[in-house]
Chain A
Amino acid sequence: MTQPGIASPHAASGSSRTRVRKILSSLFVGFCALCVLVALVPLALVLFFVISQGIRSLNFDFFTHMPTPVGEPGGGMANAIVGTLMLTGLGSLLAIPIGIVSGVYMSEYAGSRLASLGRFAADTLNGVPSIVIGVFAYGIAVLPFKQFSALAGGLALGIMMIPIIARTTEELLLLVPNSMREGALALGATRARAVFSVVLPAALPGIITGIVLSLARIAGETAPLLFTAFNNRFFTTSLRQPIGSLTVQIYTYAISPYEDWHRQAWAGALVLVMIVLVCSLLARFATRKLERLAS
């Protein structure tokens, strides 16, 4: 919102006070531009190191081989990749139904007390540190069974996904034109029918975008898995056993003293960043398309 036309009258007055104010103004504009650069530098540095370090160790084996013992070069993270897929899958199973349906409620009954309470709960849950969610999942899904498990990890990730999906669903449903809902009701549909057969499908592409974004975010979580899914250097698909994940594996490797493992950690980080990048770009592309369709 630059307003050269409005600000230009200053050019006429040349008193020293005006000059100081104008210099101050330019300094401020410069400061703001500098802030953007300051924030982009770490982004560029992180991406540069992840890509340059990661690409050296990333190969086909990374995706298909198991971790090797210390000192033995090569190997991969096949087990951790399968683990991450399973854990995010389990989380989605829990979060997608709860998230979407509670989102529907919050938009359909937007004015009700329960809806505002639900909204508050979703925002609160969104702000709870992920490590605290991990402690909670440990208390209800690990301690009673005395066993770290994929199920506990999936539960922790699911709890983190619910508020994101709920809020996205709610916001997108509110964007659907009221006339569509009214049309369905006028044809004699029940309220539930109108929502689930007409309104929800109209918002579905956007909701799927939201789910993809939440998946990308959840796949990068480490803290809630540390003491729920724990870690596993072996291949497993059992829900009741501890299971490895990309993030926990990266963590273990990063704090180890071995060069080989550091390289593996960078490769894992590159895979994670690629997942995030691809998901964000897809989501951005999809929302653009939606916006164009809507207008």
Chain B
Amino acid sequence: MGTGAFALALVLIVVAIGFELSRQSMLSIQKFGLNFWRTQTWDPVAGEFGALPFIWGTLYSSILALLIATPVALGIAVFISELAPARLRQPLVFLTELLAAIPSIVYGLWGIFVLVPAVRALEVAAPGWMRQLPLFSGPPLGVGMLSAGLILAIMVVPFTSSVAREVLKSVPLSQREGAYALGATRFEAIRAALYYARTGIIGAIMLGFGRALGETMAVTMVIGNSPKISASLFAPQYTMAAVLANEFTEAADDLYLAALVEIGLVLFIITLIVNSLSRLLIWSMARQPKAVGAATAAVPAVESAA
């Protein structure tokens, strides 16, 4: 049937994105080479483009978001799939999905007017000795890495938790039953299930990481947009997605535009790698040979055991 042509179209779109971004960024790739990613000066007027601050900001904010979001997301996944009473499950799933459905721009708006002032108050209240540390140095502006990490974490939690929930669902019940039969407490049995599902769980975490890397609007609105590398959570910084959102329409000359597209290209490649890897992990988990009493039989089996 001719329907294959449409499936091929899907593949071609992905290829076309890679091709088009490479083509548009050629000027910058040829002029700066690897120095583009090693230097820190971003001065469009002087024609100097170094993208290190953006890479730094993207990685810093995404890893920060991951550190905050992962324990919470896994806790939610465990609670919904293992602990919650059956009646609570569906509403909780719906609420966490709602968290994912709220548009980025709404989080951004909320971030500017609610989260940033709250973070500023928190920063002002930080004790003096704390402010001496490099992690908390700089004036308490509110906008900056901490706000960005927090808002990203809120946005990433539903993604990680829903995938982790699916992964936990695929853990054979015999794993938990075996643990209980050996006298395990509830925590120990769930730990055994989590250990069994570790590949898929790591995949879920990476999927959240991929989301955080490319998130644009909310981060742009709260991170402060300053292309300076800093270790401080209080310092305003910049991300790859944010510089695209802010400067793309202002790119007056070809080199400036090419430099911005190159940032887009690298963002594309990084998210491609992270997402493929996470899919691979989740997929290999789902393909594991199912033991007796696999996931499909889970619910009735539990009820008869209890």
Contact = CB atoms under 8 A, between A and B. Distances in A.
B187 A29 contact: yes
Given A43-B95, A124-B272, A280-B97, A223 B104 contact: yes
Interface stretch (B48-56, B123-131, B134-142, B240-248): B240-248
A102 B9 contact: yes
A254 B17 contact: no
A222 B279 contact: no
B261 A254 contact: no
Interface in A175-200: 191-192
Interface stretch (A56-64, A69-77, A130-138, A233-241): A130-138
B101 A216 contact: yes
A165 to B, nearest CB: 11
A129 B245 contact: no
A124 B280 CA distance: 12
Given A1-B81, A28-B190, A191-B1, A98 B98 contact: no
A4 interface: yes
B8 A114 contact: yes
A25 B184 CA distance: 10
Contacts of B74: 35
B10 A32 contact: no
B103 interface: yes
Interface in B99-146: 99, 101-110, 112-114
B61 to A, nearest CB: 13
A7 interface: yes
Contact of B264 (A40, A131, A221): A131
Contacts of A36: 75-76, 79-80, 92
A28 B186 contact: yes
A131 B102 contact: no
Q: How large is the interface on B (under 10, 10 to 19, 20 to 34, 35 or more residues)?
A: 35 or more
Contacts of B292: none
Contacts of B306: 2-6
Contact of A28 (B76, B99, B187): B187
A106 B106 contact: no
A69 to B, nearest CB: 22
Contacts of A135: 21, 24, 244, 248, 260-261, 264
Given A124-B272, A131-B244, A135-B244, A105 B264 contact: no
A147 to B, nearest CB: 13
Interface stretch (B35-43, B209-217, B228-236): B209-217
B118 to A, nearest CB: 10
A129 B20 contact: no
Contacts of A121: 10-11, 13-14
Question: Which of A129, A143, A222 has its CB near the most chain B CB atoms (within 10 A)?
Answer: A129
B261 A273 contact: no
Interface in A238-262: 247, 250-251, 254-255, 262
A5 B245 CA distance: 56
Interface in A47-61: 49-50, 53
A9 B183 contact: yes
B114 A128 contact: no
Given A21-B188, A35-B71, A220 B103 contact: yes
A10 B183 CA distance: 8
A81 interface: no
A190 to B, nearest CB: 9
A40 B99 CA distance: 8
B10 A280 contact: no
Given A38-B72, A254-B112, A46 B103 contact: no
A104 B79 contact: no
Contacts of A143: 24
11 contacts: A36-B92, A39-B157, A50-B106, A125-B13, A128-B214, A130-B214, A131-B264, A134-B244, A192-B1, A219-B103, A227-B248
Given A3-B305, A32-B76, A98-B9, 15 more contacts: A2-B83, A3-B186, A36-B79, A39-B96, A50-B109, A102-B3, A121-B11, A123-B275, A124-B272, A129-B214, A130-B214, A134-B244, A226-B248, A251-B221, A284-B94
- For the complex of A and B, the 4 pairs showing the least CB-CB separation, nearest first, are A129-B214, A35-B75, A220-B103, A118-B7
